[in-house]
Chains A and B, each alone.
Chain A
Amino acid sequence: MSLKVGIDFGTSNSGVAVFDGQKVRLLPVDPKNVLPEVIKTVLYITKDYRTYLGHEAVETYYRDNVNRQRRYVKQWAGEIEYRGADMFYVDDVFVYVDELKPGRLLQYLKTALRKDNYQGTQIFERFYSVGDLAQTYLNLLKKRAEEVLGESIDAVTLGRPVKFSESPEMDRKAQETLRQAAHEAGFKAVDFELEPIAAALYYEQSITEPQNVVIFDFGGGTLDIAVMRLGDAKSRKVYASGGVDIAGSDFDRTIIEKRMLPHFGYGKVKHHPEIMQMIEAIPDWMALPELGTPINKNILEKAIQAKVAPVRLKALEHLIYNDLAFTFYNRVEAGKIALSSEGATIISLEDKNIALWELYTRSQFESDIQHYVVDVEKVLLDTIAKSGFDIEEIDAVVKTGGSSNIPLFTGMLERIFGAEKVKESSSFSSVVAGLAIKAWM
Chain B
Amino acid sequence: MTSFNKKIDEWMKEAEARPASAVAIVKLVANRLRELTERNEELLSENIALENGTRVEEYQKRIAHLEYQLELLKRRFGVDEGTLVEFPATPAVEASTLSLLIYNARGRVFRLDLDEDAKEIGQIVGDVVGNDEPPRILAVPANEEICLLFTSGRIETHSVSNIPTVELGGKWDWSQAALPDEPRAGELLACVAPFSHLPLSDFFLQISRRGCAKKNMTSLAQSILGNHYIGKGALQKSDQPFDLMLCHKQDTAIFVTYEGKVIALDVDDLSYAIEERIKLSTTDYVIASFIAPVDATLLCVTQTGKVIQRESKSIDTSKSSTAKGQVLIPPSRLEQGVRFMGAAAVQDGDRVVVLDATGRLNLLEAESMTGAGSIEAGGLILSIGRIPADSWMNLVKV
Chain A residues within CB distance 8 Å of chain B: 262, 268, 342-346, 357, 359, 361-364, 367
Contact = CB atoms under 8 A, between A and B. Distances in A.
Nearest to B11: A361
Contact of A364 (B3, B10, B18): B10
Nearest to A361: B14
Contact of B17 (A268, A342, A346, A363): A363
B24 A342 contact: yes
A361 B10 contact: yes
Contacts of B32: 346, 357, 359
Given A344-B11, A344-B14, A363-B17, A268 B28 contact: no
Given A344-B11, A344-B14, A361 B21 contact: yes
A32 to B, nearest CB: 29
Interface string B96-129: 0000000000000000000000000000000000
A343 B24 contact: yes
B174 to A, nearest CB: 53
Contact of A362 (B3, B7, B18): B18
A361 B3 contact: no
B25 A363 contact: no
B372 interface: no
Contacts of A345: 28
Contacts of B25: 343-344, 359, 361
Q: From DSSP, what is the main secondary structure of chain A's interface residues? A: mixed
A71 B17 CA distance: 52
Nearest to A268: B3
Interface string B1-45: 001000100110110011011001100110010000000000000
Given A268-B3, A361-B21, A343 B14 contact: yes
Contacts of A268: 3
B8 to A, nearest CB: 10
Given A262-B3, A357-B32, A359-B32, A344 B21 contact: yes
B13 A359 contact: no
A346 B20 CA distance: 16
B18 A359 contact: no
A343 B20 contact: yes
Nearest to A350: B35
Interface residues of B, number: 15
Contact of B14 (A262, A357, A363): A363
B14 A362 contact: yes
Interface in B363-384: none
A367 B11 CA distance: 12
A412 B168 CA distance: 97
Contacts of B18: 343, 362-363
A357 B7 CA distance: 13
Nearest to A362: B14
Select the residue from B14, B17, B21 with max chain A CB neighbours within 10 A. B14
Nearest to B29: A359
A271 B24 CA distance: 35
A346 to B, nearest CB: 6
A346 B28 contact: yes
A60 to B, nearest CB: 25
Contacts of B11: 344, 359, 361
Contacts of B17: 362-363
B76 to A, nearest CB: 25
Contacts of A367: 10
Given A342-B21, A363-B10, A363-B17, 11 more contacts: A262-B3, A343-B14, A343-B25, A344-B21, A344-B24, A344-B28, A359-B11, A361-B11, A362-B17, A363-B18, A364-B10
A344 B32 CA distance: 14
B331 to A, nearest CB: 53
B10 to A, nearest CB: 5
A268 B6 CA distance: 14
B39 to A, nearest CB: 8
B16 to A, nearest CB: 9
Contacts of B3: 262, 268
Nearest to B25: A344
Select the residue from B3, B7, B13 with max chain A CB neighbours within 10 A. B7
Interface string B308-343: 000000000000000000000000000000000000
Nearest to A343: B21
What 10 A-B pairs have minimum CB-CB distances, sorted nearest first?
Answer: A343-B21, A361-B14, A363-B14, A344-B24, A343-B18, A344-B25, A363-B13, A364-B10, A344-B21, A359-B28
B41 to A, nearest CB: 16
A317 to B, nearest CB: 20
A363 B22 CA distance: 12
Contacts of B14: 343-344, 361-364
A357 B33 CA distance: 12
Contacts of B13: 361, 363
Nearest to A367: B10
Contacts of A361: 10-11, 13-14, 21, 25
17 contacts: A268-B3, A342-B21, A342-B24, A343-B14, A343-B18, A343-B24, A344-B21, A345-B28, A346-B28, A359-B32, A361-B11, A361-B14, A361-B25, A362-B17, A363-B10, A363-B13, A364-B10
B390 to A, nearest CB: 30
Nearest to B32: A357
Interface string B58-80: 00000000000000000000000
A268 to B, nearest CB: 7
Contact of B21 (A262, A357, A362): A362
Select the residue from A344, A345, A346, A359 with max chain B CB neighbours within 10 A. A344
Contacts of A344: 11, 14, 21, 24-25, 28
Nearest to B22: A343
Nearest to B31: A346
Interface string B203-239: 0000000000000000000000000000000000000
